[in-house]
Amino acid sequence: MQNIEAVELKKRMDAGEKINLIDVRQPEEHAEFNIGGTLIPLGNIMSMQTEEIDSLKEEEVICYCRSGQRSMQASMILQNMGFTNIKNLTGGMLGWQSLFGK
């Protein structure tokens, strides 16, 4: 598992790069503010309910949460499940919002 900073991720998104984002927060957090990631709460990842992203095992997947802690945990679990290119967004949505707002 590697980390990715918000500035690098935003630069890649602004350039139109196809990025596989996974939001591991709860549905209400996702509804409040998100950057376009697929919502798969950490609990679902922990119980291995990841069917909707299983096709991404060989692709880059970037996980994010509120602060970067849950997404770090999710990243490690996904890596153990065979995902080969997992990145964790350091600072999560708090860091993103402090840099770029909503």
The 10s digit of each residue's pLDDT in 53-75 is: 999 999 999 999 999 999 999 99
Q: What pLDDT was estimated at residue 37? A: 97
**So what CATH class is 2-100?**
alpha beta
Q: What pLDDT was estimated at residue 102? A: 77
Residue by residue, what is the 3-state secondary structure of 39-53? ECCHHHHHCCCCHHH
| Nearest of 30, 24, 27 to residue 44 by alpha carbon | 24
For residue 44, the number of C-alpha atoms closer than 13 Å in the C-beta half-sphere is 15
Q: What pLDDT was estimated at residue 26? A: 98
- Is the full-model pTM beyond 0.85? yes
The 10s digit of each residue's pLDDT in 14-27 is: 999 999 999 999 99
Residue 13 pLDDT exceeds 90: yes
Q: Could you give the residue numbers annotated as active site? A: 65
Q: What pLDDT was estimated at residue 43? A: 96
Structure tokens at 70: 């849950």
85: number of Cβ within 10 Å? 16
